[in-house]
Amino acid sequence: MAHLLRLGVLASGSGSNLQSILDACAQHRIAAEVAAVICNVPGARALQRAKEAGVPAVLLPHQEHARREEYDARLVAELRSRGVELLCLAGFMRIVTPVLLSAFPQRVLNIHPSLLPAFPGMHGVRQAIRAGVRVSGCTVHFVDEGTDCGPILVQAAVPVLEGDTEESLAARILLQEHRIYPRAIQLVAEGRVALEGQRVRISGPQGDAARTLSSPAVDEP
Ligand code: GRF
């Protein structure tokens, strides 16, 4: 059997993106397996999802570490001990430091609920509503030392509809997140992704098509 890329998933909350990754692995839609899920919040649904899927679930509360770097060193030790090759942040509500990034160079992905570089930070969906944009979406990107600003791997567009609230738009964006995160992981697993400065080059068939997913409703009036 071909090598399965060993994933580490970091989550803090509901873990619906984690679930989409677990499902894609279980259904052999991606050549990957979740080697460990690490969560910093006791009782988070993400931990339960990992257990239900039969993958190692580790609770590492950040409060026990005075400095971010110490916490990240602990994360690195845990991830290395489990042979993690690609790290996926999935609703992980912590800023990561160079301690983590240098341990996994060009091997840390994040998902964000906007079309970056628009609306980075904590409230990407709220900002999109307030700005009155007609199209928003979600982005899987490589993590660098800034906030939500590393090289962009895959995006999906989601129309903003009349009457949308932060909640209704966030829910529709989340559905697209669940499509693009497994797809982004699969591109890495296939060895098709190369970083050229701030740009990501995707080689092989349909390289351009692979980077953008439009929700079917995006062109509707
Ligand atoms: C998602 O909207 C993701 O884009 C953001 O945090 C949320 C996590 O949701 N980074 P979930 O925990 O995966 O359900």
User: Ligand 1 centre and the CA of 1: distance in Å?
Assistant: 32
The pLDDT mean for the chain works out to 93
Q: How many domains does the chain have?
A: 2
Q: Are residues 169 and 76 in the same domain?
A: no
Which residues lie with the beta carbon below 6 Å from any ligand 1 atom?
11, 13-17, 90-91, 111-113, 174, 177
Closest C-alpha to 182, from 3, 2, 5, 53: 5
Q: Tell whether 118 and 91 lie within a shared domain.
A: no
pLDDT of amino acid 207: 63
Let me know whether 74 and 178 are in one domain: no
pLDDT bracket for residue 213 (50, 70, 90): low
Q: Can you give the residue range of the structural domain that contains 24?
A: 1-105
Distances (CA, A) of 105 to 86, 101, 145, 208: 10, 6, 11, 24
At 70-89, the pLDDT tens digits run: 999 999 999 999 999 999 99
Q: Are residues 47 and 85 in the same domain?
A: yes
Q: Among residues 59, 5, 56, 63, which one has the least CA distance to residue 32?
A: 5
- Burial environment of residue 7 by CB neighbours within 10 A (0 to 12, 13 to 18, 19 or more): buried
Whether omega before 216 lies within 30 degrees of 0, making that bond cis, reads: no
Which atom, in ligand 1's list, is nearest to the CA of 13?
12
121 shares its domain with 198: yes
The model carries a pTM of 0.94
Q: Is the pLDDT of residue 220 over 70?
A: no
| Judgement on whether residues 49 and 138 belong to the same structural domain of the protein | no
Residue 38 has which token pair? Answer: 């690490």
Give pLDDT, residue 216.
Answer: 46
pLDDT at 204: 84
**Secondary structure (3-state) at 136:** strand
Q: What is the pLDDT of residues 111-133, one digit of tens each?
A: 999 999 999 999 999 999 999 99
User: How far is residue 135's CA from residue 195's CA, in Å, rounded to a whole number?
Assistant: 27
pLDDT of 126: 98
- Closest ligand 1 atom to residue 92 Cα is 10
**pLDDT band (50, 70, 90) for residue 218:** very low
Helix H or strand E encompassing 112: strand 108-112
Residues 73, 90 within the same domain: yes
112 annotated active-site = yes
Tens of pLDDT, residues 52-65: 999 999 999 999 89
Q: Which of 12, 17, 88, 154 maximizes ligand 1 atoms within 8 Å of its Cβ, making it the mutation to test the pocket?
A: 17
Q: What is residue 219's predicted lDDT score, i.e. its pLDDT?
A: 35
What's the mean pLDDT in 214-221? 43
Asked whether residue 159 falls in the same domain as residue 97, the answer is: no
Residues 84 and 115 in one domain: no
Residues 7 and 81 in one domain: yes
Task: Work out the average pLDDT over 126-149.
Answer: 96
- Which of these three, 46, 70, 105, is where a domain ends? 105
pLDDT for 1: 61
* pLDDT score of 98 more than 70: yes
Closest CA to 44 of 28, 56, 59: 59
Same domain, yes or no, for 99 and 187? no
Q: Indicate whether 35 and 98 sit together in one domain.
A: yes
